[in-house]
């Protein structure tokens, strides 16, 4: 079967074609458009085509697969192992040939391609995230303007800030620049609410969202973000793979018999990681969740390692818990989690956690050391 390496570009993509004897038979370029790809690949025998993961990967993968070709998406984090960018010589021509030779040898590190539904959900979530960021910057700008005039603005949620400020009666609310910012703020808030209603309709298609929302601190947006990031929960072997995929595990550089660990890797979906951290902070601040075993465990970690590490630890455990609930089709079980929270701790730490859990009424008996 013919092997093709395609280095996708915004306007044009570089091609390298190898025959069954690994001989380059064609080099060239094709416009990164549906019509151009159809003209080039529609009337040829089935090929194995390797492309790198990028913004255009989704529709290119779907289009070439529909034309009858075997398309493999290369994991960009391991692309250098294929020879891409080595020797300080990186060109589209060389990259396309490296992809073609890698797929001919069968050594391509494959990346998961999001489903069409997952890509749609991801785009809506990213659009909402950008609007929320814009709203936050507008509120910060308005607060700064009034603070510079010596007036304190109302303390409230960003969604209600425009209404509260308009009704506050503060001097300068009718100023043209303030009214312009408030008009944009109201418009952005309206668009966010519309997107959230659309996300609620999309959530009705996923039975897992209701189960994931039973976890304290996890609601509609967090559940949908995790579902969009993982796309297919069955492709992960265990919870640790999910945590590593989302960049919530410690980085490590161990050599010469010495083990060195650092902060989290921050690899993978940044939005999902940020949502899990926000869910962890929300969980730790919620009063009615103070008896939850996750909170008890986080308090033990915070006493030993600090609050920031405790928040990251809760976010990491939330990623594994949400994945397990999605795969098993179960709801949140704090009692079962309380029994597992003692695993991997020293005897002193288990004793301290047990005492805290006992005071909170989470568990009744001390587990065996």
Tally: H helices and E strands in the chain: 14, 7
pLDDT in tens, 125-159: 999 999 999 999 999 999 999 999 899 998 989 99
How far is it, in rounded angstroms, from Cα 76 to Cα 110?
A: 9
Cα R_g (the chain), whole angstroms: 26
pLDDT at 173 exceeding the cut of 70:
yes
How far is it, in rounded angstroms, from Cα 175 to Cα 142?
A: 12
Domain boundaries, the chain: 2-105, 117-203, 207-360
Please report the pLDDT score of residue 89 as a whole number: 75
Domain 2-105 CATH class label: alpha beta
- Report the predicted TM-score, pTM, of the whole model to 2 decimal places: 0.83
pLDDT in tens, 220-240: 999 999 999 999 999 999 999
Q: Taking a C-beta distance cutoff of 8 angstroms, is the pair 264, 250 a contact? A: yes
């Amino acid at each position: 079967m013919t092997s093709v390496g395609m280095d996708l570009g915004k306007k044009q993509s570089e091609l390298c074609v190898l025959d069954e004897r690994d001989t380059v038979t064609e080099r060239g370029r094709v416009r990164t458009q549906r019509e151009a790809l159809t003209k080039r690949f529609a009337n040829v025998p089935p090929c194995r085509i390797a492309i790198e993961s990028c913004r255009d990967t989704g529709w290119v993968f779907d289009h070439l697969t529909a034309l009858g070709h075997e398309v493999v998406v290369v994991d960009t984090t391991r692309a250098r192992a294929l020879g891409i960018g080595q020797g300080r010589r990186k060109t589209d021509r060389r990259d396309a040939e490296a992809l073609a030779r890698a797929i001919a040898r069968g050594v391509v590190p494959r990346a998961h391609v999001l489903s069409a539904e997952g890509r749609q959900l991801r785009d809506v979530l990213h659009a909402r995230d950008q609007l929320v960021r814009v709203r936050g910057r507008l509120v910060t700008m308005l607060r700064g303007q009034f603070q510079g005039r010596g007036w304190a603005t109302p303390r409230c949620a960003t969604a209600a800030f425009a209404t509260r400020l308009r009704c506050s009666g503060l001097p300068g609310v009718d100023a043209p620049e303030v009214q312009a910012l408030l008009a944009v703020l109201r418009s952005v808030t309206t668009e966010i609410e519309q997107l959230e209603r659309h996300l609620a309709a999309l959530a009705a298609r996923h039975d897992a969202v209701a189960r994931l929302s039973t976890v304290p601190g996890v609601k509609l947006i967090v559940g949908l973000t995790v579902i969009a990031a993982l796309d297919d929960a069955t492709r992960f072997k265990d919870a640790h793979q999910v945590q590593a995929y989302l960049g919530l595990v410690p980085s490590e550089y161990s050599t010469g018999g010495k083990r060195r660990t650092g902060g989290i890797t921050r690899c993978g979906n940044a939005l999902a990681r940020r949502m899990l951290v926000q869910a962890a902070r929300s969980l730790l601040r919620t009063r009615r969740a103070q008896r939850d075993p996750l909170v008890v465990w986080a308090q033990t970690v915070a006493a030993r390692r600090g609050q920031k590490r405790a928040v990251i630890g809760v976010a990491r455990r939330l990623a594994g818990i949400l994945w397990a609930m999605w795969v098993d089709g179960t709801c949140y079980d704090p009692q079962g989690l309380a029994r597992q929270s003692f695993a991997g701790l020293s005897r002193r730490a288990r004793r301290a956690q047990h005492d805290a859990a006992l005071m909170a009424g989470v568990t009744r008996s001390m587990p065996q050391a």
